[in-house]
Amino acid sequence: MMEYTTQMDAAKKGIITKEMMIVANKESMDVEELRQLVAEGKVAIPANKNHKSLDPEGVGQGLRTKINVNLGISKDCASIEKEMDKVKKAIEMKAEAIMDLSNYGKTAEFRKELVEYSKAMIGTVPVYDAIGFYDKEIDEITAEEFLKVVEKHAEDGVDFVTIHAGLNRETINTFKRNERLTNIVSRGGSLLYAWMEINNAENPFYEHYDKLLDICEKYDLTLSLGDACRPGANTDSTDAVQIKELITLGELTKRAWERNVQVIVEGPGHMTLDEIKANVMLQKKLCHGAPFYVLGPLVTDVAPGYDHITSAIGGAIAAAAGVDFLCYVTPAEHLRLPNLEDMKEGIVAAKIAAHAGDLAKGIKGAREWDNAMSKARADLDWEEMFNLAIDSEKPRRYREESMPEHKDTCTMCGKMCAVRNMNKVMKGEAVDIFNNK
């Protein structure tokens, strides 16, 4: 059998991997069509060779919009047990990806437990871990040490890594010439910016990009090219800094594909509704059709405590316009580390946005799911409605908290229920609003 190094390498050689078979089956897509999309870079199947518990998913053109859940330990909230509770709930709620953003304490211990347990694909941002890994300030870490942290994460089995390689000296110069209200809001981007300025050096991930690709190729580690210059406020969106970095990410995408390394490109951020479609078009054009992964976008800046809603509004529009992967946002965004309940609300909001986008894109099976729910409503089949719901727990609880006198109604309309009465009329039965039967 012909050997291959990565999913993209296999696809280019005409090889259909077991991961491609699984994804094609999930997506009701012809596997040869999927193979071609992987070969072209328009679909990525993040599947590290060392992630043995993985149930593979595809991200990209023609596939269901996937969602990612961020979690991880921090200095102020360092409980591995609590984060693992979130992991288990996220997988139960069918999140396709989990990003471990741990930046303090026993990060390696948590990552090992996560990889062993999770059937969802796993992402990390290695630069977050570098300071704790070496126990020294950011400016004291060498370029070689940054790459060693990436290799450690790859060896541990993570499926994709966010690397802010587009924040090179050219991008920094553009940033300095173009004033922003919120400067750089990417955590990884701000750390690298500080390192570059203090050391008067080029971004190590840009300067040593080929060495980074060596690591990715070795483990079939998907490269998620991070947007260090994503807008942190609506007024900063689609500015020269953001677009300058995006152009560089497009160039880095082609270099990765030449090495058969799979790529996902990350995007904004905060932006108003009218700019979302244009941003998706720009990314797809400048990055040659690579899968697009966005945080939000958050369509207004004035709703702290409700940013899962501002994000879902933007995410639905983005997904409908062609975005492939949504990073969830919780009600705790900008405020604190999300707890379990925050995470659940964020997942549901992101899944609603993803599915709304899939309906607009005409993804196979999306309309059928909605039709099945509508049929259950027409039949007043409460149990089937709960089974089909994105989250069955909340609607079931709402129903049980306010039970009607008649089971074929709810406490909103009672026997005036339009569905109940139309069913009776269509069957030739009397509409008995006042008859207490």
Please tell me whether 373 is known to bind a ligand.
no
**Six token digits for residue 14:** 């005409």
Q: Is 164 annotated as a binding residue?
A: yes
Q: What is the CA radius of gyration of the chain?
A: 23
128 belongs to an annotated ligand binding site: yes
Place of tokens 């690591």: 215
228 annotated to bind ligand? yes
93 labeled binding residue: no
Angle, helices 418-426 vs 366-378, to 10°: value is 80
Determine if residue 111 is labeled as part of a ligand binding site: no
To the question of whether residue 287 is assigned a binding role by annotation, the answer is no
- From residue 169, how far is each of 75, 147, 236, 241, 301 by CA, in Å? 31, 19, 20, 12, 29
Distance separating alpha carbons of residues 84 and 73, to the nearest angstrom = 10
Known binder of ligand: residue 306? no
Whether residue 410 is annotated as binding a ligand: the answer is yes
Show the tokens assigned to 156.
């541990």
Q: What is the distance, to the nearest Å, from the Cα of residue 375 to the centroid of all Cα atoms in its chain? A: 31
| 186 is an annotated ligand-binding site residue | yes
Q: Is 208 among the annotated ligand-binding positions?
A: no
- Annotated binding residue 381: no
76 is in an annotated binding site: no
> Which whole-number Å values give the CA distances from 433 to 403, 405, 422, 436, in the listed order?
18, 12, 12, 8
Q: How many whole angstroms separate alpha carbon 181 and alpha carbon 371? A: 45
- 51 marked as binding residue: no
Q: Which of the 8 DSSP states describes residue 395?
A: H
DSSP state, residue 136: S
Check the annotation: does 199 bind a ligand. no
Q: How far apart are CA 25 and CA 19, in angstroms?
A: 10
**Is residue 266 marked as binding?**
yes
Residues belonging to the binding site for [4Fe-4S] cluster are: 410, 413, 417
Which residues are part of a known binding site?
70, 99, 128, 164, 186-188, 227-230, 266, 270, 293, 334, 410, 413, 417
Binding site for substrate: which residues?
A: 70, 99, 128, 164, 186-188, 227-230, 266, 293
Residue stretches of the annotated binding site for Zn(2+): 270, 334
